[in-house]
C-alpha cells in the first residue's frame, strides 16, 4: 500500500497545480500580455477597442518623449525616497529602538503607531483630505495656528511633500516591526561586551547594533521600495494625481492614461517600463534572500 | 548591577527623551483619526475638526437606512471572504507541495514567486482588464445559451469576470496568493516530516494525510496567511475601481469613494461613519496579525 517516491512526487505537483493555474492566468499571462498590448494601439473606445492595430515601438517612442511620463517617474522617485527610505525608516527605527526600553505605556505607544497601518487605502486618503484641507479651520492649520503660522493650502502649495508625509504616516509600523525583529536578533552578550569595554550607548548603536541589523535594513529597503512603487488607491483617493499632475505617481499615471484617456496600448507601455524597474529591484531581492530550498 | 545608583538621574533623562520622542510619533499617528471619529458622531459634521453638536448616531444608522450600506458590506465580505478562502486552500496545498517536493524547477519556481510579489498591481490592470473582458464575453455567450434571456443579467452578476462576483473573487485571490504561498512554504519547512512519514507507513492515502495530519499542523501558518490576505484584499481599491460598475456589486471602498465625489452635497458625517465601519474589520484582523507580521518580509532570511 505504501506510496512510491515517484507517485508521491507526482501527487505533490498536483497539489501545486491550482496555484500555478491561478497565478498563470491572472498574473503571469497578463504581465506577458502587457508587452504585446504595449505594441498595439489598443483602446477602451472606438475602432481600436475591437480591432487594435500593431504599431511596433510607437508607444515607447511617444513615452520617452512624453514629459508627463518623466514627471511621473520623478515624482514616484521622490515619493519612494521621501516616505519609504527616509520617513518610515527613520521614524520606524527610532520607535523600535525606544520601545526596547522598559517604558510605561509601552503597549499603548506600540498600538497607536501600528494603527495607521491597518487603515484601508481609501479611508487613509479621506482622513488626510480633512487633515490637510485649506482654510484656518483644518486640523493641520489649527495646530500650526497655535504656533503663529498662517493657514496654508497644503495640498495645493506643497502637494508632493504632503503625500510623502501622509504615506510616512501609513508605513511607520511596518518599518518598526521589522526593525524590532532585527534588533532582537542582536545577541545581548555582544552589547554587554561593548558596554564593558567602555563604549557609550551612541557608540554601541553606531558600531555594534547598526552593522548587525544591516541585513534587516537592506531587506526593509527592498520590500518597502517595491511596495511604495505599487501604491495607487491611497494617493488616488487623496489627490487623484493633482493639482495638475504634481502627485501623479506612476500607478496613478497608468490608471489615468488607460481608464481616463482610454489609451490601453499606451498605458500598457508605461506598465511594462514600471514592471521592468520593479523586476530589476526584485532580482536584487532574490539574490539577497538566497532562497532556501 | 549598580545601574540604578550611578546612572539614576542620567537614565531618567534618557527615558525622558524617549517619552517625548515616542509621544510625538504617537501624536503624529493618532491626530488624523481625531476628525473622522468625532465627525462620525456629529449631526452637523464638516470637513473641519470640531466638537460634535449635536451628538448623534444618525450617521451610522443612515448608512444602512438611507444608503445601500448593508449591500456594500455584504459585497465586501462575500468577495474578500471567498477570495481569502480560496487563498487558504490553494496556498495550504501548494505551500505543502513546495516545501516537500524535490524537482529541478523548484528553485526557479520560488524565484518566480518572489518576482511576482514585486509586480505593482497598477502595472497589471490594463492587460488584466483586457483578458477578463475576453473571458467575460466567453462566459456571456455560454450563459446566454443556457438560461432564459431575462435571467442572463443576474447570472452574469455572479459568474461574470467583469462586473461580476466571480471576476472580483478570482482577481483578489490571485493578487494575495503569492505572499500566502510563500508564508505556507516557509511554515511547512519548519514542520518535521515525521508525522507524515508515520501516516504514510500506516497506509494513509494523500487525501487522508492532508485532512488528518497536514491540516492540523498547518493551522498557525494558515492563520497568518489568511489574515494578511484578508487585510490586503479588504483595503484594496484599485481592483474594484476597474472591475465593478453596477451599483448592486458596489463594495465598501467604492461606496466611500463615490459618496465623496458628490461634490455638491458631501455628507461628512455619513462618510466618516462609513469610514469607521469600513476600517473596523481591518483593524481587528490587524490586531491578530501583528505577531505574524515579520513573515511578510522574511523569506528564508532570518530577520
* Prior bond of B207 cis (ω within 30°): no
Confidence bin at B1 (pLDDT 50/70/90): very low
**Model pLDDT, residue A289:** 67
In the block, residue with C-alpha cell 460598475 = B245
Tell me the chain A residues in contact with residue B28 when contact means C-beta distances shorter than 8 Å: 91, 169
> Please, what's the b/e burial string for B83-111 (b: 16 or more CB within 10 A of its CB; e: otherwise)?
bbebbbebbbbbbbbbbbbeeeebeebbb
pLDDT, tens digit, 9 for 90 and up, residues B191-221: 888 888 888 888 888 888 888 888 888 888 8
CB–CB of A232 and B285 under 8 A? Answer: no
Residue B301 CB coordination number (10 Å): 15
pLDDT, tens digit, 9 for 90 and up, residues A217-254: 888 888 888 889 989 999 999 988 878 888 999 999 99
3-state secondary structure B178-241: HHHHHHHHHHHHCCCCHHHHHHHHCCCCHHHHHHHHHHHHHHHHHHHHHHHHHHHHHHCCHHHH
3-class DSSP assignment, residue B73: helix
Minimum-distance CB partner of B203 among A1, A133, A135:
A1
Interhelix angle for A159-184 vs B8-40, to 10°?
130
| Angle in degrees, CA B126, B132, B138, rounded to 5 | 145
CB–CB of A133 and B48 under 8 A? Answer: yes
Fold type of domain B71-260+277-296: MetI-like fold (1.10.3720)
CB–CB of A2 and B200 under 8 A? Answer: yes
User: Testing the interface with A: which of B32, B72, B128 to mutate, by most A Cβ within 10 A?
Assistant: B32
Predicted confidence (pLDDT) at residue B4 exceeds the cutoff of 60? no
**Model pLDDT, residue B297:** 59
* Mean pLDDT computed over B263-276: 85
Burial class (CB in 10 A: 0-12, 13-18, 19+), B38: middle
- State the cell numbers at B243: 472591475
CB–CB of B110 and A293 under 8 A? Answer: yes
**Model pLDDT, residue B295:** 60
Confidence bin at B181 (pLDDT 50/70/90): very high
Minimum-distance CB partner of B19 among A95, A103, A237:
A103
B282 Cβ under 8 Å from any chain A Cβ:
yes
Residue B192 CB coordination number (10 Å): 8
In the block, residue with C-alpha cell 456629529 = B42
Predicted confidence (pLDDT) at residue B9 exceeds the cutoff of 70? no
**Model pLDDT, residue B7:** 45
> Please, what's the b/e burial string for B119-136 (b: 16 or more CB within 10 A of its CB; e: otherwise)?
bbbbbbbbbbbbbbeebb
List residues bridging with A40 in a β-sheet.
A54
Give A122→chain B minimum CA distance, Å.
6
Instruction: Give how far the C-alpha of residue A230 lies from the chain's centroid of Cα atoms, to the nearest Å.
Output: 5
List residues bridging with A54 in a β-sheet.
A40
Give A109→chain B minimum CA distance, Å.
6
Question: What stretches in chain A show pLDDT beneath 50?
Answer: 1-2, 293
Quote the CA–CA distance of B202 and A93 in Å, as a whole number: 51
CA diameter of chain B: 87
Is the Cα torsion angle B233, B234, B240, B246 positive or negative in sign?
Answer: positive
Confidence bin at B262 (pLDDT 50/70/90): confident
Confidence bin at B46 (pLDDT 50/70/90): confident
- Taken in order of first residue, the domains within chain A and their CATH numbers are 26-289 (1.10.3720.10)
Name the residue ranges covered by the structural domains of chain B. 71-260+277-296
pLDDT, tens digit, 9 for 90 and up, residues B108-147: 898 888 888 888 888 888 889 989 999 999 999 999 888 8
- State the cell numbers at A206: 553606531
**Where do the H-state alpha helices sit in chain B?**
3-6, 8-40, 58-65, 69-100, 106-117, 121-146, 152-159, 165-189, 194-201, 206-208, 215-235, 238-243, 252-261, 268-289
Residue A52 CB coordination number (10 Å): 18
CB–CB of B297 and A169 under 8 A? Answer: no
What is the pLDDT of chain B when averaged over all its residues?
A: 85
**Model pLDDT, residue B89:** 95
* C-alpha to C-alpha distances, A196 to A183, A200, B1, B124, nearest whole angstrom: 20, 10, 12, 55
Closest alpha carbon to B257 in A253, A238, A115, A255: A238
For chain B, percent of residues with pLDDT exceeding 70 = 91
- Residues B269 and B39 sit within 8 Å (Cβ to Cβ): yes
Quote the CA–CA distance of A29 and A41 in Å, as a whole number: 19
**Where do the H-state alpha helices sit in chain A?**
5-23, 29-37, 47-50, 58-65, 67-79, 89-98, 106-114, 121-131, 139-146, 154-157, 159-184, 188-196, 201-204, 210-229, 233-239, 250-255, 264-289
Instruction: Provide φ and ψ at A118, rounded to 5°.
Output: -90, -5
Quote the CA–CA distance of A36 and A25 in Å, as a whole number: 16
**Model pLDDT, residue B69:** 85
First-residue to last-residue Cα distance in chain B: 31
Amino acid at each position: 500500500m505504501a506510496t512510491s517516491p515517484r507517485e508521491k512526487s507526482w501527487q505533490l505537483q498536483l497539489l501545486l497545480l491550482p496555484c500555478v493555474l491561478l497565478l498563470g492566468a491572472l498574473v503571469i499571462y497578463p504581465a506577458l500580455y502587457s508587452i504585446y498590448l504595449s505594441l498595439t494601439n489598443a483602446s477602451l473606445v472606438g475602432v481600436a477597442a475591437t480591432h487594435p492595430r500593431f504599431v511596433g515601438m510607437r508607444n515607447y517612442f511617444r513615452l520617452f518623449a512624453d514629459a508627463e511620463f518623466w514627471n511621473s517617474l520623478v515624482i514616484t522617485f521622490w515619493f519612494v525616497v521621501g516616505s519609504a527610505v527616509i520617513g518610515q525608516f527613520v521614524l520606524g527605527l527610532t520607535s523600535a529602538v525606544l520601545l526596547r526600553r522598559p517604558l510605561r505605556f509601552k503597549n499603548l505607544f506600540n498600538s497607536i503607531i501600528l494603527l495607521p497601518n491597518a487603515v484601508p487605502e481609501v479611508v487613509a486618503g479621506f482622513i488626510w483630505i480633512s487633515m490637510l484641507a485649506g482654510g484656518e479651520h483644518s486640523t493641520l492649520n489649527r495646530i500650526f495656528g497655535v504656533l503663529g503660522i498662517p493657514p496654508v493650502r497644503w495640498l495645493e502649495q506643497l502637494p508632493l511633500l504632503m503625500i510623502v508625509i501622509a504615506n510616512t504616516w501609513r508605513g511607520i509600523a511596518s518599518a518598526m516591526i521589522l526593525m524590532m525583529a532585527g534588533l532582537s536578533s542582536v545577541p545581548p552578550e555582544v552589547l554587554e561586551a561593548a558596554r564593558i569595554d567602555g563604549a557609550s550607548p551612541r557608540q554601541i548603536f553606531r558600531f555594534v547594533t547598526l552593522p548587525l541589523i544591516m541585513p534587516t535594513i537592506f531587506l526593509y529597503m527592498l520590500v518597502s521600495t517595491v511596495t511604495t512603487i505599487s501604491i495607487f488607491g491611497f494617493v488616488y483617493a487623496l489627490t487623484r494625481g493633482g493639482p495638475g499632475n504634481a502627485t501623479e505617481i506612476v500607478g496613478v499615471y497608468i490608471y489615468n492614461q488607460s481608464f481616463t484617456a482610454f489609451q490601453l496600448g499606451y498605458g500598457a507601455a508605461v506598465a511594462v517600463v514600471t514592471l521592468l524597474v520593479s523586476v530589476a529591484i526584485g532580482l536584487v531581492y532574490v539574490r539577497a534572500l538566497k532562497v532556501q530550498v | 548591577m549598580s545601574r540604578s545608583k550611578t546612572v539614576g538621574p542620567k537614565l531618567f533623562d534618557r527615558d525622558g527623551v524617549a517619552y517625548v520622542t515616542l509621544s510625538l510619533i504617537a501624536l503624529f499617528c493618532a491626530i488624523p483619526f481625531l476628525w473622522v471619529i468625532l465627525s462620525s458622531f456629529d449631526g452637523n459634521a464638516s470637513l473641519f475638526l470640531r466638537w460634535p453638536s449635536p451628538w448623534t448616531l444618525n450617521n451610522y444608522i443612515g448608512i444602512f437606512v438611507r444608503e445601500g450600506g448593508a449591500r456594500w458590506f455584504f459585497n465586501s465580505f462575500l468577495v474578500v471572504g471567498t477570495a481569502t478562502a480560496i487563498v487558504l486552500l490553494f496556498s495550504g496545498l501548494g505551500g505543502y507541495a513546495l516545501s516537500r517536493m524535490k524537482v529541478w524547477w523548484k528553485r526557479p519556481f520560488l524565484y518566480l514567486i518572489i518576482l511576482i510579489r514585486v509586480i505593482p498591481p497598477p502595472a497589471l490592470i490594463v492587460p488584466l482588464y483586457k483578458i477578463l473582458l475576453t473571458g467575460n464575453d466567453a462566459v456571456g455567450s455560454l450563459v446566454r445559451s443556457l438560461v432564459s434571456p431575462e435571467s442572463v443579467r443576474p447570472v452574469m452578476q455572479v459568474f461574470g469576470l467583469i462586473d461580476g462576483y466571480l471576476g472580483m473573487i478570482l482577481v483578489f485571490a490571485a493578487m494575495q496568493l503569492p505572499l500566502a504561498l510563500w508564508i505556507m512554504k516557509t511554515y511547512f519547512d519548519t514542520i518535521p516530516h515525521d508525522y507524515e512519514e508515520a501516516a504514510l507507513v500506516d497506509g494513509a492515502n494523500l487525501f487522508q494525510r492532508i485532512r488528518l495530519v497536514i491540516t492540523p499542523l498547518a493551522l498557525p501558518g494558515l492563520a497568518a496567511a489568511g489574515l494578511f490576505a484578508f487585510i490586503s484584499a479588504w483595503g484594496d481599491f484599485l481592483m474594484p475601481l476597474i472591475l465593478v460598475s453596477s451599483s448592486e456589486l458596489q463594495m465598501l471602498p467604492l461606496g466611500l469613494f463615490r459618496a465623496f465625489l458628490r461634490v455638491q452635497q458631501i455628507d461628512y458625517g455619513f462618510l466618516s461613519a462609513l469610514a469607521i465601519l469600513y476600517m473596523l474589520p481591518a483593524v481587528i484582523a490587524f490586531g491578530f496579525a501583528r505577531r505574524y507580521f515579520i513573515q511578510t518580509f522574511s523569506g528564508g532570511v532570518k530577520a
